[in-house]
Amino acid sequence: MTERELSCEEVLEQLFTYLDGEIDAAGSADIDRHLERCRDCYTRAEFEKKLRLKTEQAGGFAPAPERLRARIRGLLDRY
Ligand SMILES: [Zn+2]
């Protein structure tokens, strides 16, 4: 099996799936590996994790997937 190198864009695209635990094991390992090397994506992932924790504690409110996608697009535009 060849190790796949993810770009930051790919990691951000899959970040929410990853955080939801809805990604397959191989995909999750790819992202883990990227996060170990990439400070920017690591910071982003930690931020989203904390944000999720907070919204869960605030009553289980989950933002609509469409809004998340729009946010990711916004993030990518900045890079
Ligand atoms: Zn990255």
Report if residue 3 sits inside a domain.
Answer: no
Q: How many domains does the chain have?
A: 1
Report if residue 2 sits inside a domain.
Answer: no
pLDDT at 73: 82
* C-alpha distance from residue 74 to each of 3, 44, 77, 79 (Å): 29, 14, 5, 9
Of the chain, the percentage scoring pLDDT greater than 70 comes to: 84
* Structure-token match 């170990």, residue found: 36
Full residue range of the structural domain in which residue 33 is found:
8-78
Who has greater pLDDT, 37 or 60? 37
Who has greater pLDDT, 19 or 72? 19
Taking the centre of ligand 1 as the mean of its atom positions, its distance from the CA of residue 8, in whole angstroms, is: 4
Six-digit token string for 18: 């990853």
Closest by alpha carbon to 44, among 70, 19, 26? Answer: 19
How many alpha carbons fall within 13 Å on the CB side of residue 61? 6
pLDDT at 79: 63
Taking the centre of ligand 1 as the mean of its atom positions, its distance from the CA of residue 58, in whole angstroms, is: 29
Taking the centre of ligand 1 as the mean of its atom positions, its distance from the CA of residue 44, in whole angstroms, is: 9
pLDDT confidence band for 17 (50 / 70 / 90): very high
**Full-model pTM:** 0.65
